[in-house]
Structure 1
Amino acid sequence: MASPTTTTEPVPQTLFDKVAIVSGSSSGIGRAIAHELSAHGARVVINYPFESLRAEAEVAAEGLPAPHVLVEAGLRTVEGPHRLVDAAVSAFGRVDVLVNNAGVAINLPFEEQTLEHWDDIVNLNGRGMFLLTQSVLPHLTKGSGRIVNIVSVSSRGPPPLQTLYVGSKGMVDSFTRVWAQELPPKYGCTVNAVSPGPVETPAFTSLGPEVMEVLQPNISRTPVAPRMAKPEEIAHAVAFLCEERARWVNGAHLFVNGGLVIQ
């Protein structure tokens, strides 16, 4: 399968030899981010949550031009985030970039959302990235580390049916603001957020006609074009924030959604 990053021009090696963990990178946006960072020279850690998704992760890793490893680590668990970081450090000795991408959503009327849904979404979208970031910090390269949190336009422009998802992404949004002030003085890193709108991934396109009927009006009013984003369009923005030339960008919330939400 071809890499999501396709170009006829040589890709500048602006991330050469950097070590990047991309959580939830066996498919969708995370896969595109992993390929984009690898194309710029980064050594990438591909993360998948279950052994049953090993084959999907292997497919996701096809075509990566830089060294990489595949790590099974379920970030819904308390142990998974630490296991992912341990594997990355064992393979490459350090971490330069952390992309907190792993996440899950449900689209249901508020009355139908349950405590099981709460645990599933909050444990991954909130607690998982909280613990993963804590686990990375002792190994993050001081002076040039990068943390990029994938949020969502839903955190600022919430649609119907997404109470728990929006709440969890609001948590990630708030974490970013706090960490961008607290962590750089200690670690010399930057902390930023990227907020996609609807993205053409298998997870999104499989939502079903009823959900799409609710979400389609938002997609259709996107100013740049009435369509969903391509995963690689999100990945390009993430890669920029990971580069040395973005060293003065900290605490930014970069909306990569065609102008669907502007703040």
Structure 2
Amino acid sequence: MAHAALPKTLEGKVAVVSGSSSGIGAAIARELSARGAHVTVNYPFEHLKEEAASVVSTLATAGLAVEADISTVDGPAKLVQAAVAEWNRIDIIVNNAGLAVNLPFEEQTLEHWDRLVNLNGRGTFLLTQEALKHLTKGSGRIVNIASASARTPPPWQTIYGGTKGMVDSFTMCWAKELPPKYGCTVNAVSPGPTKTEGFAAAGEEVMEFLQPTIDATPCGSRMGEPTEIAYAVAMLCEERASWVCGSHIVVSGGLQIG
């Protein structure tokens, strides 16, 4: 792979990336591994085991695939415990697992609410709490994958935008509270529309709805690539990024600012 030539700036680091058997999460896992980190790849359900194993097989370093549903109460702890059992610590935690529902407000239901809030919001909350117990003091990295929808939500994303706004607020709060205790940094990366399996499965109606927005992207009328999001995440995980904390990096080709 092309990434194999990257300098091993994260050599020996241990990273956990939630929701990483496909899409942006898989790209993040590969990017961190290419820089030398050992990555725990996470998938939520048994039927995705082969998909996760396929991602691990492409990593440049020894990796691990762990089944844990981050939307459950005990899933986050299961993921952390598996990583710690393998490598005895965690240096990098990437809260990537997330789910979107694109529907008119009137059609969004309590079931949608529970699914998105439990995964996008509570999952990020619990996984970070668990990871802190094992986070390397003085150099840990917490990166939350928010969304451009956290601050500039389009129509049809009432619950999704709300949960990503929650993640955005978590980031700002933790960036003030956690570094004095743990010597870590806390930042957020907010992707704009990105070419993932999830977006492909959203359906033609959603894509037609979003196309004018995509066409208006200043850097080019296209969706982002998962590797472009992964690069921003990896940058924040580097040792030289130790003075970057509380940042909200939007990776959207200039579509959203701030």
Query: In which range does the TM-score fall when normalised by the shorter chain?
Result: over 0.9
Selected match of 1:156 from 117, 126, 151: 151
Secondary structure (helix, strand or coil) at the match of 1:77 reads coil
Match of 2:165 in 1: 170
Match of 1:133 in 2: 128
**TM-score, with normalisation over the residues of structure 2?**
0.98
Letter of the 1:89 counterpart: V
Q: Deviations over 1:81-101 (max 9, x none)?
A: 001000000000000000000
Selected match of 2:205 from 187, 196, 210: 210
Secondary structure (helix, strand or coil) at the match of 1:139 reads coil
The answer to whether structure 1 residue 226 and structure 2 residue 228 are counterparts is: no
Give, in whole Å, the separation in 2 of the partners of 1:65 and 1:93. 20
Give, in whole Å, the separation in 2 of the partners of 1:205 and 1:52. 19
Give, in whole Å, the separation in 2 of the partners of 1:229 and 1:205. 13
Give, in whole Å, the separation in 2 of the partners of 1:172 and 1:137. 17
Q: Deviations over 1:10-62 (max 9, x none)?
A: 21111000000000000000000000000000000000001111011111222
Q: Deviations over 1:121-175 (max 9, x none)?
A: 0000000010000001010000000000000001111111110000000000000
Moved over 4 A (4+): none
Give, in whole Å, the separation in 1 of the partners of 2:212 and 2:161. 18
1:214 CA displacement? 1.1
Give, in whole Å, the separation in 2 of the partners of 1:206 and 1:114. 20
Secondary structure (helix, strand or coil) at the match of 1:75 reads coil
Give, in whole Å, the separation in 2 of the partners of 1:84 and 1:190. 21
Give, in whole Å, the separation in 2 of the partners of 1:29 and 1:103. 10
What pairs with 1:2-81 in structure 2 (closer than 5 Å)?
6-7=2-3, 10-81=5-76
Letter of the 1:256 counterpart: V
Q: Which runs of 5+ in 1 are unaligned?
A: none
Give, in whole Å, the separation in 2 of the partners of 1:40 and 1:67. 12
Secondary structure (helix, strand or coil) at the match of 2:133 reads helix
Match of 1:193 in 2: 188
Question: How many equivalent pairs are there?
Answer: 258
Give, in whole Å, the separation in 2 of the partners of 1:131 and 1:206. 28
The answer to whether structure 1 residue 104 and structure 2 residue 99 are counterparts is: yes
Q: Which runs of 5+ in 2 are unaligned?
A: none
Secondary structure (helix, strand or coil) at the match of 1:245 reads helix
Letter of the 1:191 counterpart: V
Indicate the percent of aligned positions where both proteins have the same amino acid.
64
